[in-house]
């Protein structure tokens, strides 16, 4: 403090680039070698611990991604297939088809889409319209339903869902490939993206501890073991591991990368013992589904070898009401995928994602939904939120790891018996994984707070209002549906009720309006730091990122490296936001 002067207040600034994610071990372009490598020539990366990923590690990490994503596929099939009229055979076939299509879509997304380490799988957003279509199909044909076998009723419902998915997928492709989602992405400043990313993770809270508590004697040990291995065990490398070449320069214990594998293996074996001694023989079907490892005949019903193929359930049927209700779910999946993609590129130590790349990824997401409709998965496509959290848990953002995971998806979906064994993981263990992985995605949204001026009351309003309404509005619509059996919108058109219910019950869609709040309330330039948040200035900065990305020869997402730092320093982070001057940016027409 100067004598006779005022106290100088330090200017707001985020953490330097090197300190934002100092523990990330492998960035998005780190690929495993197919031969032994020399540690004397590591790749040119900003962090010294970014060494080439060993092939054996990449295979294990890829299998870990596969193990995480099959939980969602099993839960979706277990909910939807019985309501369609299917049994264990149909459930096993749908699970294998879901995983097979997920493997294809993951490869397409990592090769041609965003080129980020994202896994494309099923989404809970499609469950409500799928159930609505299945029930309405059976009710509309009630004169013939009693004469149909359960498998025929299942095929009839699945064909109606296929037709709705095929047409609704063009909605995702249109907003993606034609650039409409790029317009939305330009308004995703850090302030607008925070509620979307946070609620992408927190929005799945109902699938966490409530599901875990259905079999607490298995779920709670799985959660505790996962936290202990990932956060507390092996803080330093054991001395003997210093002689293993690929671990010599690792700053963290390699064991913590495999926390999911280790915890699942130990608790799965424990659950198998409880199942073998008959601990759940006299329990309710719901308890057996959450606790037993034999999954009520799923392994026995799965074929040894079966390759899913298009139109395996017959030709799709089309209904306008079914299509519109499925389009609402597609919009939810798009916003959900956007939040997961933002979290993934942060944890993968990638440069900022240009709006055109995000829009292109949404377009390929539509192709994934189209494939789901052609093959008959009964579900659309979305970026797997739990796998985005796994990238943060392992600190491994290698794109090659996810491509290896896609190989496991294709392999075990064809080998039906082996895939069914892995799919027999008790659902309480899956819920334990959700408690940690979804939390990582929510934390990625909290990490964006460092680029916002939290001393601005305008910023406080937008953040608080978006988060509160994103939780409060869906709560009202869900409670109304639970008590009355229908949504608060009363109309004769079922598809209108489904769309309104699907939109209003989605915390992501409600919170995504934060971009609108950011535009309507541009703030006063007299407020300290308010100039950091208006979307007009953010769009100008995003344009600079787009120019740099367009000049890159392979048109892919880059790691934060010394090379990119020298070529164009801005792409390393959002740090340039701090350089915006008080006066507004001029429109150059």
pTM of the full structure: 0.84
Please give the C-alpha separations between residue 381 and each of 52, 103, 368, 370, in angstroms, as whole numbers. Answer: 31, 11, 6, 9
Give the model confidence (pLDDT) of 526-541 as tens digits: 444 444 455 555 555 5
The radius of gyration of the chain from alpha carbons, rounded to an integer in Å, stands at 24
pLDDT of residue 22: 62
Q: Answer yes or no: do 424 and 569 share one domain.
A: no
Judge whether 238 lies within some domain: yes
Q: Is 7 exposed, middle or buried (0-12, 13-18, 19+ CB in 10 A)?
A: exposed
Question: How many Å apart are CA 532 and CA 579, to the nearest integer?
Answer: 9
pLDDT band for position 479 (cuts 50, 70, 90): confident
294 and 399 inside one domain? yes
The region of weakest confidence among 230-244, 320-334, 429-443, 568-582 is 568-582
User: Following DSSP, what letter does each residue of 61-76 receive, concatenated?
Assistant: HHHHHHHHHHHHHHHH
Return the pLDDT at 522.
58
Reported as a pLDDT band with limits 50, 70 and 90, residue 183 is confident
114 and 64 both lie in a single domain: yes
| Same structural domain, 367 and 312 | yes
Tell me the CB-side half-sphere exposure of residue 211, using CA atoms within 13 A: 22
487 and 537 within one domain: no
Q: How far apart are CA 135 and CA 302, in angstroms?
A: 26
Express as a percent the part of the chain with pLDDT over 70.
Answer: 72
Residue 145 lies in a domain: yes
Q: What is the mean pLDDT of residues 427-442?
A: 94
Are 547 and 513 found together in one domain?
Answer: no
- For 483-519, the pLDDT digits (tens) are 776 777 777 666 677 777 777 777 777 777 766 666 6
Last residue of a domain, one of 520, 548, 569: 520
Under 8 Å between Cβ of 322 and 163: yes
Domain annotation covers residue 551: yes
Place of tokens 């007009």: 536
> Per DSSP, what are the bridge partners of residue 26?
396
Domain presence at residue 117: yes
- Answer whether residue 554 shows pLDDT above 80: no
Verify that 477 and 541 share a domain, yes or no: no
Instruction: State whether 514 and 536 are in the same domain.
Output: no
Task: Copy the structure tokens of residue 96.
Answer: 């294998």
Please indicate, yes or no, if residue 557 is contained in any of the structural domains: yes
Examine residue 82 and state whether it is found in any structural domain, yes or no. Answer: yes
Asked whether residue 386 carries a pLDDT value surpassing 50, the answer given is yes
Quote the domain boundaries for residue 546: 530-579
Q: Can you give the pLDDT at residue 375?
A: 96
Burial classification of residue 522, based on how many CB atoms lie within 10 Å of its CB (0-12 exposed, 13-18 middle, 19 or more buried): middle
Our measurement of the distance from residue 215's CA atom to the centroid of its chain's CA atoms, rounded to an integer in Å, reads 25
Q: What mean pLDDT is reported for the chain? A: 78
| Number of structural domains the chain divides into | 2
Q: How confident is the model at residue 477 (pLDDT cuts 50, 70, 90)?
A: confident
Give yes or no: residues 409 and 551 share one domain: no
The mean per-residue pLDDT over the stretch 186-215 comes to 88
Could you tell me if 174 and 323 lie in one domain? yes
Whether 566 and 449 share a structural domain:
no
450 and 551 part of one domain: no
What pLDDT, on a 0 to 100 scale, did the predictor assign at position 280? 85
Determine, yes or no, domain membership for 45. no
């Amino acid at each position: 403090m100067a004598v006779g002067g005022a106290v100088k207040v330090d200017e707001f600034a985020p953490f330097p680039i090197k300190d934002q994610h100092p523990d990330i071990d492998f960035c998005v372009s780190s690929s495993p070698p197919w031969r032994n490598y020399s540690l004397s020539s590591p790749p040119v990366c900003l962090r010294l611990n970014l060494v080439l990923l060993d092939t054996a590690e990449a295979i294990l990490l890829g299998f870990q991604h596969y193990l995480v994503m099959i939980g969602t596929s099993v839960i979706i099939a277990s909910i939807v297939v019985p309501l369609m009229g299917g049994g264990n055979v149909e459930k096993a076939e749908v699970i294998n088809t879901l995983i097979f299509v997920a493997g294809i879509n993951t490869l397409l997304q990592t090769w041609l889409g965003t080129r980020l380490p994202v896994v494309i799988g099923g989404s809970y957003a499609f469950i409500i319209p799928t159930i609505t279509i299945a029930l309405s199909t059976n009710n509309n044909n009630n004169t013939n339903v009693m004469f149909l076998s359960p498998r025929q009723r299942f095929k009839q419902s699945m064909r109606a869902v296929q037709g709705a998915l095929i047409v609704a997928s063009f909605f995702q492709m249109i907003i993606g490939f034609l650039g409409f989602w790029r317009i939305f992405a330009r308004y995703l400043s850090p302030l607008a993206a925070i509620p979307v990313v946070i609620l992408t993770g927190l929005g799945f809270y109902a699938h966490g501890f409530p599901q875990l508590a259905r079999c607490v004697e298995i779920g709670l040990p799985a959660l505790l073991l996962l936290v202990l291995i990932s956060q507390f065990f092996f803080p330093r490398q054991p001395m003997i591991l210093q002689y293993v070449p690929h671990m010599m320069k690792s700053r963290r214990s390699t064991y913590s990368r495999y926390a999911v594998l280790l915890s699942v293996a130990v608790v799965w074996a424990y659950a198998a013992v409880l199942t073998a001694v008959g601990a759940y023989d006299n329990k309710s079907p719901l308890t057996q589904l959450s606790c037993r490892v034999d999954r009520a005949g799923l392994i026995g019903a799965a074929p040894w070898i079966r390759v899913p193929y298009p139109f395996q359930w017959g030709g799709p049927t089309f209904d306008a009401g079914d299509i519109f209700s499925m389009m609402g779910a597609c919009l939810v999946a798009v916003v959900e995928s956007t939040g997961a993609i933002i979290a993934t590129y942060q944890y993968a130590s990638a440069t900022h994602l240009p709006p055109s790349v995000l829009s292109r990824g949404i377009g390929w997401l539509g192709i994934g939904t189209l494939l789901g409709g052609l093959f008959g998965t009964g579900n659309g496509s979305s970026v797997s939120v739990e796998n985005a959290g796994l990238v943060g848990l392992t600190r491994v953002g290698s794109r090659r790891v996810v491509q290896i995971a896609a190989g496991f998806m294709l392999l075990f979906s064809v080998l039906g018996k082996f895939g069914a064994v892995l799919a027999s993981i008790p659902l309480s263990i899956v819920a334990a994984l959700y408690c940690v992985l979804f939390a990582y995605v929510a934390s990625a949204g909290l990490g964006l707070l460092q680029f916002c001026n939290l001393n601005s009351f305008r910023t406080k309003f937008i953040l608080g209002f978006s988060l509160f309404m994103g939780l409060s509005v869906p709560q009202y619509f869900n409670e109304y549906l639970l008590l009355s059996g229908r949504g608060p919108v009363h109309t004769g058109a079922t598809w209108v009720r489904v769309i309104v219910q699907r939109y209003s019950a989605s915390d992501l869609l409600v919170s995504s309006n934060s971009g609108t709040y950011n535009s309507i309330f541009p703030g006063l330039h007299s407020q300290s730091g308010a100039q950091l948040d208006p979307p007009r200035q953010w769009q100008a900065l995003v344009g600079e990122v787009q120019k740099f990305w367009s000049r890159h020869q392979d048109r892919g997402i880059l790691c934060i490296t010394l090379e990119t730092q020298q070529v164009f320093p801005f792409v390393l982070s959002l740090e340039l936001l701090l350089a915006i001057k008080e006066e507004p940016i001029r429109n150059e027409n």
